[in-house]
Amino acid sequence: MKTKIVTVIGARPQIIKSSAISRAIRNKYHDKLEEVIVHTGQHYDDNMSQVFFVELNIPSPKYNLKIGSASHAVQTAEMMKGLEDVFKKEQPQAVILYGDTNSTLAGATVASKMDIPVVHVESGLRSYNKAMPEEINRIVSDHLSTLLFTPTELGVANLKKEGFNLENNAPYNIDNPKVHYCGDVMYDNSLHFAELAMKKETVLTDYNLVEGTFILCTLHRPANTDSPERLANILEALVHISTKGKEVIVPLHPRTRKFINETLDKKLLDEIENTDTIKLIDPVSFLNITALEQKCAFIITDSGGLQKEAYFFQKPSIILRAETEWMEIVANGNATLVDADKQRIIEAAYTYLNGVEMEFPNFYGNGKAAEFICDQLIALA
Ligand code: UD1
C-alpha cells in the first residue's frame, strides 16, 4: 500500500524546499508514496511562486487555497479553514510541512487537531528571538509534530533543550515524537541544480556581471524592511560599498520594493536609481539565484536560505540580523552578523573584498536528506 502524504506549501522558500522530496518520490519512491500538494497561496506573484514549479519540475498543486496577503491572524485563519477541508477530503497518513511560515503554522495546527501525524522538515531551528513571527511558527510547529527532521546538529540540540526525547525508539505519535537529524533538503537542491543553473542562467549576462567581482544582496525581513531607519542604513551601506567592478545586485522581494518606494528618503532613492553600480531588480528564479550565488564574491542578506546557500557554494556572507538560526556558519567564521548597522556592514564587506582564508566543513548532510525522509515516511503506512 502507498503512503499518502499531503504537502503544504505557500511561500517561496517552501516551494523550492519541497522540490527535493517531490523529486525523490518521482525518481525512487513513486510506487510507495503518493503526494498531494496544497498551495496556500501565501505567495502569489508569478516570480514568487509559479516560476519555481516550472523550472524545478514540481508537480502542480491539486489545491490552491489562494489566500494571499493579509494580517498574520487573518492569513493563518483562512489557511486553516481551507486546509481542514483538504485534509478531510484526502485523509492522508501524514502532512508534510516546511520551515517556519504562516503556512507551516496553519498546517501544523489543523493536522495535529485532526489526529494526522505532522512531519516537519527543517525543524529544530531557533533564533531565540520571539519578535520574529517565524520563531513563533517554528516553536508551535515543532511541538505539534510527530516526525521532526532537523537539517543541523544544532537543531537536534535545540529540540533537546525543549524537552524532546532523542532516544525515543518507541512507536511514535504526537505525544511521543521522533527527532531525526538528516541534513538539509536545500543542500540536496543546491547540489542537484548547481550545474543546470550555470547552463541556463541569463542573469549574469543580462546585468553585465563579471564572475567573482559582484556582491549579491537580498533583503526582506519585516524587521529590516518595515523600519525606515534600518532600511536606509542598509541601503546607505550598499551605496558606500558598490563601485564600478564591484557592483551590488539586489533581487527585491515585493515587500522590500514596496517599502523602498514608500518610505525611503527621496535623495537616497534617487542616488540608488541613478547609479549603475547598484542594481535593484525583480525577484529571480531559483536557477538564476543559484547562478548568482556561485559566481558572486560574497553575499549580504537577511534571508536564512541565502546565508546557507552562500556556504554551500563556499562564499562568505554578511547577515543583516542580530542573530541567526544557522549559528554554525558564524561560529566557523564563514559569516558575520552585522544587524542593520551601516558601519559594521561596510567593515565586513571590506574584509571579504580583501579576501579571507576559510574552511567549509560539511554541516548540512550528504545531499540525500530527501531520500532519508522518504524512507521514514514509508514506515508510516
Ligand atoms: C514569508 C514568511 C517568511 C519567509 C518569506 C520568504 C511568514 C510569517 N513569513 O514572508 O518566513 O522568509 O515568506 O519570502 O510566513 N507579496 C507580494 N507578492 C507575493 C507575495 C508577497 O506582493 O507573491 C507582498 C505583499 O505586499 C505582502 C508582503 O509581500 O503583504 C508580505 O508577504 P507575506 O507572505 O505576508 O510574508 P513574507 O514577507 O513574504
Q: What is the 100 CA–ligand 1 centroid distance (Å)? A: 12
Q: What is the pLDDT of residues 326-360, one digit of tens each?
A: 999 999 999 999 999 999 999 999 999 998 999 99
- Could you give the C-alpha distances from 29 to 141, 266, 372, 374, in angstroms and in order? 26, 55, 11, 7
Q: What is the 42 CA–ligand 1 centroid distance (Å)? A: 7
Q: What is the 35 CA–ligand 1 centroid distance (Å)? A: 25
- Read off the C-alpha cell for 151: 537539517
CA-proximal residue: ligand 1, atom 27 (nearest)? 69
Q: Which residues pair with 3 in a beta bridge?
A: 33
CA-proximal residue: ligand 1, atom 22 (nearest)? 254
pLDDT (0 to 100) of residue 95 = 98
- Tell which atom from ligand 1 comes closest to the C-alpha of 42: 34
User: Rounded to whole angstroms, how far apart are CA atoms 280 and 157?
Assistant: 39
- Could you give the C-alpha distances from 20 to 28, 37, 176, 188, 340, in angstroms and in order? 12, 13, 27, 7, 33
Closest CA to 265 of 236, 224, 301: 236
Which of 14, 17, 39, 43 has most ligand 1 atoms within 8 Å of CB, for mutation?
A: 43
- Read off the C-alpha cell for 239: 551605496
Strands 335-337 and 215-218: unpaired
Low-confidence ranges of the chain (pLDDT < 50): none
- Name the DSSP class of 62: S
- Tell which atom from ligand 1 comes closest to the C-alpha of 221: 38
pTM: 0.95
Contact between 115 and 144 (Cβ < 8 Å): no
CA 25 to chain CA centroid, Å, is: 21
Catalytic residue (one of 72, 220, 240, 253): 220
pLDDT (0 to 100) of residue 55 = 94
Closest CA to 316 of 338, 333, 303, 295: 333
Which of 100, 253, 321, 326 has most ligand 1 atoms within 8 Å of CB, for mutation?
A: 253
- The strand order across the sheet containing 215-218 reads 278-281, 248-251, 215-218, 298-301, 317-319, 335-337
- Name the DSSP class of 26: I
Task: Give the CA count within 13 Å in the CB-facing half-sphere of 141.
Answer: 33
Ligand 1 environment, Cβ below 6 A: 11-13, 42-45, 48, 69, 100-102, 133-134, 220, 253-255, 258
Q: What is the 70 CA–ligand 1 centroid distance (Å)? A: 10
Contact between 336 and 320 (Cβ < 8 Å): no
Task: Give the CA count within 13 Å in the CB-facing half-sphere of 254.
Answer: 12
State the angle between helix axes of 102-113 and 72-90 in degrees (0 to 180), rounded to the nearest 10: 40
Which of 17, 42, 103, 307 has most ligand 1 atoms within 8 Å of CB, for mutation?
A: 42
Contact between 63 and 41 (Cβ < 8 Å): no
Closest CA to 21 of 55, 50, 58, 68: 58
Contact between 251 and 281 (Cβ < 8 Å): yes
Element spanning 63, H or E: strand 63-64
Q: What is the 43 CA–ligand 1 centroid distance (Å)? A: 6
The answer to whether residue 220 is catalytic is yes
- Read off the C-alpha cell for 110: 489543523
CA-proximal residue: ligand 1, atom 13 (nearest)? 11
**H-type alpha helices, 152-303:** 153-161, 185-200, 203-206, 222-225, 228-241, 254-263, 266-274, 286-295
Q: What is the 254 CA–ligand 1 centroid distance (Å)? A: 8
- Tell which atom from ligand 1 comes closest to the C-alpha of 105: 15
